[in-house]
Structure 1
Amino acid sequence: MIAVGWPLAGVLVLLTAFAALVVRLGQLGPWLPVVTAAARAVAQLAAVSLLITAVLASGWLTGGFVLLMYVIAALTSSRRVFGRLSTTPALSIAAGAAPALALLLGTRLVPLEPVAVIPIAGILIGGGMTATSLAGRRALDELKTRHGEYEAGLALGLLNRDAALLLTRPTAHQALVPVLDQTRTVGLVTLPGAFVGVLLGGGDPVQAGATQIVVLIALLAVEAVAVLLTVELIARET
Structure 2
Amino acid sequence: MGSLLKVTPALAVVVGLLVAAGATVAWAGRLGHARAILGACLRAALQLGAVSLVIAWVVGVPAGVGAFLLVMYGVASFTAGRRISRTHPWPAALPVAAGTFPVLALLFGSGVAPAQGVVIIPIAGILLGGCLTATALAGRRAVDELRVRKGEVEAALALGFLDRDAALEVCRPAAAQALVPALDQTRTVGLVTLPGAFVGMLLGGAEPLEAGIVQLVVLVALLAAEAVAVLVTVELVARGSFRAER
- TM-score band by shorter chain is over 0.9
* Corresponding residue number in structure 2 for 1:115: 118
* Candidates 224, 229, 234, aligned match of 1:231: 234
Q: Which runs of 5+ in 2 are unaligned?
A: none
Q: Is residue 12 from structure 1 mapped to residue 15 from structure 2 by the alignment?
A: yes
2:80–2:89 CA contact under 8 A, matched in 1: no
Residues of 2 paired with 1:15 and 1:55: CA distance? 32
Whole-Å Cα distance in 2 between the matches of residues 85 and 38 of structure 1?
26
One-letter code of the match for 2:147?
K
Question: Which residue in the other structure is 1:38 paired with?
Answer: 41
Give the TM-score normalised by structure 1.
0.97
| Total equivalences in the alignment | 238
CA RMSD of aligned residues (A): 1.1
The gaps in structure 1 that reach 5 residues or longer are none
- The residue number in structure 2 matching 1:84 is 87
Partner of 1:198: 201
Deviation of 1:87 (Å): 3.2
1:130 alignment partner AA: T
| Distance across 1 between alignment mates of 2:14 and 2:87 | 35
Q: Does 1:133 align with 2:133?
A: no
Q: Is the 8 A contact 1:56 1:62 kept in 2?
A: yes
**Quick one: which amino acid aligns to residue 4 of structure 1?**
V
Worse overlay, 184-193 or 169-178: 169-178
> Percent same amino acid at aligned positions?
56
Amino acid in structure 1 at the alignment position of 2:189: V
Aligned match of 2:169: 166
Alpha-carbon contact 1:88-1:234 (below 8 Å) kept = no
**Partner of residue 190, structure 2:** 187
One-letter amino acid of the structure 2 residue matched with residue 23 of structure 1: A
Match of 1:178 among 166, 181, 187: 181
What residue number does 2:69 align with?
66
TM-score normalised by the chain length of structure 2? 0.94
